[in-house]
Chains A and B, each alone.
Chain A
């Protein structure tokens, strides 16, 4: 086992622990912090795979923007600790996880594991390559996605500004 593989297993182990904490902790803010930890660990995984741009974007977009907005909403609502979910939910979750495992394990067992997870070139995920494919080959889907997001933003603003009549909601 070389250094890169060792780092991968340490990161993957921590990632599994952080992800389990997201599911099992009972205070919402603690879950959110665990999720931030998991996202940061994924970013480090990307960086260890020679894709620093993808890793940094992961931190900036998910940990830096989206999760902050989540926390913002959580702080406003300030919910108490979650109650324990019922046996029925546990049963459903176990069945679904079992199904997922039944698909994943055969798939992964056919996969030829390489000794070194770092197989990508330095160019993978570099700003140059990303920009060329985004604004060259995939420019149409990119622009359509941006229009879609713009529509969603305008829709949110319109819904937010709608007069509420007599129901008094603010």
Chain B
């Protein structure tokens, strides 16, 4: 009993620690990455005796120190309680969503089987959407409590945008749920260990040599679903090209214009935690999660028949490493996206969400349903 509780506590701490620290490191990667993209040198001032340590000094010491020693300003006409509560409301959902994302299969220590996932919910994906839908409150409440017209406009934009894209995001993931017929993220990750040739019906046998050797990752089964989900998820993080709630050129800084110091740090960290969570979700739903292609529980089984057996611990380490690499890749992809695309206009954001992504997502669901019924 005690050991079980301890294992759960260690897993929860590890995941929270990784997400928070990755969020901090991403803050540095974003500055250095934008400098790389724009042909500048970028953040290079923070160092201890000339040692910048790959941005470690910057991320772990200089940034938090700067934020936490700044004045925490609350507008006199604002709502003090809600102004303080709003950053917590923004950070909380971003941090707890990762609880249902599996970062490995099972780790077997002696006779104990440890599921490498903090919370094994059979409705994992619904939990993700429930927590995602709570993310709006931080923005709306923060915007309202600041009692500032710019921030209020940002809050109104943010709530409309997030509700619109939640609809498209929910529908875009429907195809994946139908393809793997489960709501459990660990089950979805496990099913992606199959090969496409195991799923192809007999009458499509001629496709075997072309795509039979591919792993049954979500992106191969649901390419349109992946594009729609990734777009909607980026819109949910409110980053460029969807950063209308902040829109510096129009709204100064939007919903967090009246925030400074530690509270701004919480909004800032929440945004990067969302980036990490989006990367984790895209990895789990569409890119095999912790799966390494052809790696089964006992080692590699290549499609041409050869087998390379590996010890259990090596397999688990490979899985966790694969998950980490994929998550890092999608974090970087989001940063790349942010610094290469210009911002949409507000009506364009709404048109994209309701008139293009929603019908395409519905079409994706319909086509997936027809294919599944036809294949039976």
Interface string of B59-85 (1 = CB under 8 A from A): 000000000000000000001001001
Tell me if A72 and B123 are in contact (CB < 8 A). Answer: no
Tell me if B159 and A72 are in contact (CB < 8 A). Answer: yes
Tell me if B137 and A68 are in contact (CB < 8 A). Answer: yes
Instruction: Report B-chain residues with C-beta under 8 Å of the C-beta of A12.
Output: none
Instruction: Report B-chain residues with C-beta under 8 Å of the C-beta of A65.
Output: 133, 163, 166
Q: Which residue, of A57, A76, A127, has the highest number of chain B Cβ atoms within 10 A?
A: A127
Main secondary structure of the interface of A (DSSP, over half): helix
Tell me if A75 and B152 are in contact (CB < 8 A). Answer: yes
Determine the residue in chain B with the shortest Cβ distance to A43. B130
Instruction: Report A-chain residues with C-beta under 8 Å of the C-beta of B123.
Output: 52-53, 56, 127
Instruction: Report A-chain residues with C-beta under 8 Å of the C-beta of B155.
Output: 75
- Name the distance in Å between B125's Cβ and chain A's nearest Cβ: 10
Residues 150-173 of B contacting A (Cβ, < 8 Å):
152, 155-156, 159-160, 163, 166
Instruction: Report B-chain residues with C-beta under 8 Å of the C-beta of A27.
Output: 79
Instruction: Report B-chain residues with C-beta under 8 Å of the C-beta of A57.
Output: 126, 130
Tell whether A155 is near chain B: CB-to-CB under 8 Å. Answer: no
Tell me if B122 and A64 are in contact (CB < 8 A). Answer: no
Determine the residue in chain A with the shortest Cβ distance to B135. A64
Tell me if A75 and B156 are in contact (CB < 8 A). Answer: yes
Interface size of B by Cβ–Cβ distance < 8 Å? 28
| A72 and B245 alpha carbons, distance in the complex (Å) | 14
- Name the distance in Å between B151's Cβ and chain A's nearest Cβ: 11
Tell me if B163 and A69 are in contact (CB < 8 A). Answer: yes
- Name the distance in Å between B281's Cβ and chain A's nearest Cβ: 16
- Name the distance in Å between B298's Cβ and chain A's nearest Cβ: 31
Tell me if B136 and A68 are in contact (CB < 8 A). Answer: yes
Interface string of A28-60 (1 = CB under 8 A from B): 011001001000000000000000110011011
| A127 and B121 alpha carbons, distance in the complex (Å) | 12
| A127 and B129 alpha carbons, distance in the complex (Å) | 15
Tell whether A63 is near chain B: CB-to-CB under 8 Å. Answer: yes
Tell me if B134 and A59 are in contact (CB < 8 A). Answer: yes
Tell whether B183 is near chain A: CB-to-CB under 8 Å. Answer: yes
Tell whether B143 is near chain A: CB-to-CB under 8 Å. Answer: yes
Determine the residue in chain A with the shortest Cβ distance to B119. A52
Tell me if B152 and A56 are in contact (CB < 8 A). Answer: no
- Name the distance in Å between B221's Cβ and chain A's nearest Cβ: 21
Tell me if A60 and B159 are in contact (CB < 8 A). Answer: no
- Name the distance in Å between A62's Cβ and chain B's nearest Cβ: 10
- A-side residues, CB < 8 A to B, are 27, 29-30, 33, 36, 52-53, 56-57, 59-60, 63-65, 68-69, 71-72, 75-76, 78, 126-127
- Between-chain CB contacts (< 8 Å), 17 pairs: A29-B141, A36-B137, A52-B121, A52-B127, A56-B126, A56-B127, A59-B131, A64-B132, A64-B166, A68-B133, A68-B137, A68-B163, A71-B159, A72-B160, A75-B144, A75-B152, A75-B159
Given A56-B130, A60-B130, 4 more A-B residue pairs with CB atoms under 8 Å apart are A33-B85, A52-B122, A57-B126, A65-B166
